[in-house]
Amino acid sequence: MLIEHVSRLRNHTHLQKIPIVLVVESNLGFEAAHNARYIMEAGIDNVEIAHEQKLNNKAYVAPSTLNDYATNSVGIRTTNLSKERMYIQMREILEDDTLRVWEHAQPREGTCKEQVGKLVRQMHNYSAVHSDPKLVFAPVRRVFTGKAMGEQDDLLIALMIAMLYRRLFVQAVLADEEQNTRSGL
C-alpha cells in the first residue's frame, strides 16, 4: 500500500520532482523502520523518512542505509507528552485558520471530501481523558486520545505528527541558518 501510494504521488504532475518526506509514527510495532525499508528497497527517488533523533540534535541527515533504520530511531515517537503538545499545536492551527487540504489529494480509500469528513469527526472526538488511578494515592492520569467508544484517531494523529514534524524541521533549518550567519558562512 505504501509503495503504491508514494508512486501515485510521484506520478502526479505537481509532485514529480519535489521531495516527499514521510512522517511516520515510531512505536513498538516498528512501522517507521519497516516503511523506511520498503521505500529504500523500492528505489523511489527523492523520498525521505522523518528521523526524529537527528532532527532533535539539529543535524538532520536522512539515514541512507538499511542499517540506519534497524535501530528504530526513524519516525516520530508518540508519547502522552508529545500528544499533548500536538493537540495544543493543532488547536492553534485551527484557531488561526491555517489548515488547508490540497484539492488534488488522492486518498487510497473514498474521496477527498469523505476523508476530510472522517478527519473532522476524529477532531471532534479527540480530547484529554482522565483515568482512575489503580492505587489509592496515585495521581489521576490524563491521556490524549480519540479512541473513546470504539472510534479511531489515525487520520488526526497522522496530521498532528506531520504538523509537529513540520514545526521541528522549520525550527531546525532556521537555527542552522542563524548559526551559519553568525559563523559568516
- Model pTM above 0.85: no
Q: pLDDT tens for residues 85-141? A: 888 989 999 999 988 888 777 787 888 889 999 999 999 999 888 888 788 888 888
| pLDDT, position 123 | 92
Q: Which of 152, 174, 161 is nearest to 21 (CA)?
A: 161
Cell numbers representing residue 174 in the block: 532556521
Between 176 and 16, name the one with better pLDDT.
16
Q: Which residues have CB under 8 Å from 135's CB, separation 6+?
A: none
Q: Which residues have CB under 8 Å from 2's CB, separation 6+?
A: 35, 38, 39
Q: pLDDT tens for residues 46-97? A: 887 777 665 554 434 444 444 444 454 677 778 888 888 888 989 999 999 9
**Quick one: which H or E segment has residue 48?**
strand 47-49
Query: Taking the CB of residue 113, how many other CB atoms lie within 10 A of it?
Result: 11
